A and B are shown apart, each in its own frame.
Chain A
Amino acid sequence: MQINHANQPSAGRRASLATALLALVTFAGTVHAGEHLFGYVKGTEPLPKGAREFYQFATSRDDKGQGTYHAVDYKTEFEIGATDRLTLAAAFKSISLKTSGLVIDGYLPKDHRFGLKASGIELEALYNFLSPAKDGIGLSTSFALNYDRIDKHSGQQKNRISGELELLLQKYLLEGQLIWLGNLGMETTHARRVAIADLPPDFDWPTGPEMEIELKFGTGLSYRFAPRWYVGAEALYETEFETEVGQERWSWFAGPSLHYGGQRWWATLTYVRQLAGGGEFYAGQTDTSLHLIEKTESELRLKIAFNF
């Protein structure tokens, strides 16, 4: 596996960051409850008891710097308020992908193209501790369990089970016209790739168990500029550690969000661009200021939800 390492924080700084994040995410969770002002950063508010929402997400991931790379992740989710504090959700995931002209040892084995394919399922639970409107600051935690059978980067078969825990914070400013959100999360993953028969003998495509830990930080600020319309900006930091290479990657994404919230449905459109990244690079990668093996240069996400 030909991998370069650069742009990495020092080992001490990395360890401090990891320790701080791990300590903070001990109480963490994932929320897809209620209305999403952003594409990625999540709010704390649960659905009220008995309320039900249907979500459709689509995320376009584009460009790895060379060749052609387009992937769209789809998620269809149903969510219900089990109690006024506990929200439960189940989601069905699918993916379409097109990659050509770029081979990355260990990650992208060959050109690949397919339309919509079922890729996995997700189960989530959110528990709300503090309300942003009532308690000054909102605090929720949630846990998401994921099973995927397709590697979202290469489109090849890969069985992956992960658990994601997040701590979610929310603050209303200007009586709720301006909203701040903050997320801290940790995802642990166990994965195993399915062998590919026709690969060159020197291509690295390990089929043994892989274990990874990903730490996430997100923050966003959204302003209601007109009735039902919010505009905001969000920033995301993600870093992943795995047994073979230590810190495999890190990246900063940021971009704007536009949200419309109606009485019975809402929609959010978000564009984020990778501002900086590091960890592993692929052989011949020209822009070494970004991580482009597991991430792309940009993502566009659309969410639409209906409550009933």
Chain B
Amino acid sequence: MAHASRLLCLALPAALVGSTSGYAVTYLTVEQAQAALWPGVKLAETTIKLTPGQRKAIEKAAHVRVRQPEFTAWRTPAGGWFFVDQVVGKHEFITYAVALTADGAVAGLEILDYRETYGGEVRNEKWRAQFAGKTSAAPLKLDQDIKNLSGATLSCRNLTDGVKRLLVIYDLVLKNLR
């Protein structure tokens, strides 16, 4: 197995380099995202716990898995919301933040972490602005109301689906909270 040994000699350093040289880049912290999406507004932190029934109803309406039935959200005095969520990217999770108005429309979206090879344009204001004003009634489909980015289709789809999931969570659970 001389050749096999030679191949492993190449593979092991590669794996070692890969496992130790992460490329984590945080573009925004949660606090910075809050300040960007709700400037000057005091946010109250709250924990949302979804019941199994709510989780099932959200998944049915949004056609997206609810990966975390318990999560932290922030509320504005006027009834608006701020969420930090994660979706699956090609290599890593993408962390993003969404602000919803008191009537359940997207007020803004920010990308906190994006570490994929292609598709860094998801951080561009123009791409993020496509979500402004969307409600749970919007299609939120790539190439329909959200533009795809070549080379980052999975990231674009999962971010779009993630926003849809938050809008459905608002619609089915949060809008009835006092």
Indicate whether A269 sits within 8 Å of B11 (C-beta atoms), given known contacts A60-B3, A176-B154, A260-B18. yes
**B161 touches A (CB below 8 Å):** yes
Complex interface: chain A residues within 8 A of B7 (CB): 58, 60, 72, 269, 300-302
**A2 touches B (CB below 8 Å):** no
**B171 touches A (CB below 8 Å):** no
The reply to whether B153 and A134 contact each other, CB–CB distance below 8 Å, is: yes
Complex interface: chain B residues within 8 A of A302 (CB): 7, 10-11
Indicate whether A262 sits within 8 Å of B23 (C-beta atoms), given known contacts A60-B4, A84-B150, A134-B148. yes
The reply to whether A267 and B14 contact each other, CB–CB distance below 8 Å, is: yes
Q: In whole angstroms, how far apart are the Cα atoms of A174 and B101 in the complex?
A: 30
The reply to whether B91 and A228 contact each other, CB–CB distance below 8 Å, is: yes
Q: In whole angstroms, how far apart are the Cα atoms of A302 and B89 in the complex?
A: 24
- Tell me which of B2, B89, B90 contacts A35 (CB under 8 A): B90
Within 8 A of A (CB), among B38-83: 64-65
The reply to whether B4 and A304 contact each other, CB–CB distance below 8 Å, is: no
Complex interface: chain B residues within 8 A of A18 (CB): none
The reply to whether B10 and A58 contact each other, CB–CB distance below 8 Å, is: yes
The reply to whether B14 and A300 contact each other, CB–CB distance below 8 Å, is: no
**A172 touches B (CB below 8 Å):** yes
Complex interface: chain B residues within 8 A of A172 (CB): 154
Would you give the 0/1 interface string for A83-101, flagging 1 where the beta carbon is closer than 8 Å to chain B?
A: 0100000000000100000
Q: In whole angstroms, how far apart are the Cα atoms of A131 and B153 in the complex?
A: 8
The size bracket of the interface on A is: 35 or more
- Tell me which of A49, A62, A264, A267 contacts B15 (CB under 8 A): A267
* Closest A residue, CB atoms, query B5: A60
Complex interface: chain A residues within 8 A of B6 (CB): 58, 60, 72
**B88 touches A (CB below 8 Å):** yes
Complex interface: chain B residues within 8 A of A304 (CB): 10, 14
Q: In whole angstroms, how far apart are the Cα atoms of A70 and B2 in the complex?
A: 8
The reply to whether A176 and B158 contact each other, CB–CB distance below 8 Å, is: yes
- Closest CB in chain B relative to A29 CB, distance in Å: 19
- Closest CB in chain A relative to B16 CB, distance in Å: 10
Indicate whether A175 sits within 8 Å of B161 (C-beta atoms), given known contacts A263-B117, A300-B4, A302-B7. yes
Q: In whole angstroms, how far apart are the Cα atoms of A69 and B151 in the complex?
A: 41
**B134 touches A (CB below 8 Å):** no
- Residues of A at the B interface (CB closer than 8 Å) are 35, 45, 47-49, 51, 58, 60, 62, 70-72, 81, 84, 96, 131-134, 172, 174-177, 224, 227-228, 258, 260-264, 267, 269, 300-302, 304, 307
The reply to whether A227 and B91 contact each other, CB–CB distance below 8 Å, is: yes
- Closest CB in chain A relative to B118 CB, distance in Å: 6
- Closest CB in chain A relative to B157 CB, distance in Å: 4
The reply to whether A267 and B154 contact each other, CB–CB distance below 8 Å, is: no
9 contacts between A and B (CB under 8 A): A58-B6, A175-B64, A175-B65, A176-B158, A228-B92, A261-B91, A262-B21, A267-B14, A301-B7
The reply to whether A175 and B158 contact each other, CB–CB distance below 8 Å, is: yes
- Closest CB in chain B relative to A48 CB, distance in Å: 3
Within 8 A of A (CB), among B148-164: 148, 150-154, 156-158, 161
- Closest CB in chain A relative to B153 CB, distance in Å: 4
**B142 touches A (CB below 8 Å):** yes
**B87 touches A (CB below 8 Å):** yes
- Closest CB in chain A relative to B11 CB, distance in Å: 5
- Closest CB in chain A relative to B65 CB, distance in Å: 7
- Tell me which of A71, A174, A176, A267 contacts B90 (CB under 8 A): A176
- Tell me which of A48, A260, A263, A269 contacts B150 (CB under 8 A): A48
* Closest B residue, CB atoms, query A131: B153
Within 8 A of A (CB), among B117-162: 117-118, 142-143, 148, 150-154, 156-158, 161
Complex interface: chain B residues within 8 A of A35 (CB): 90, 117
Q: In whole angstroms, how far apart are the Cα atoms of A35 and B142 in the complex?
A: 22
* Closest B residue, CB atoms, query A177: B88
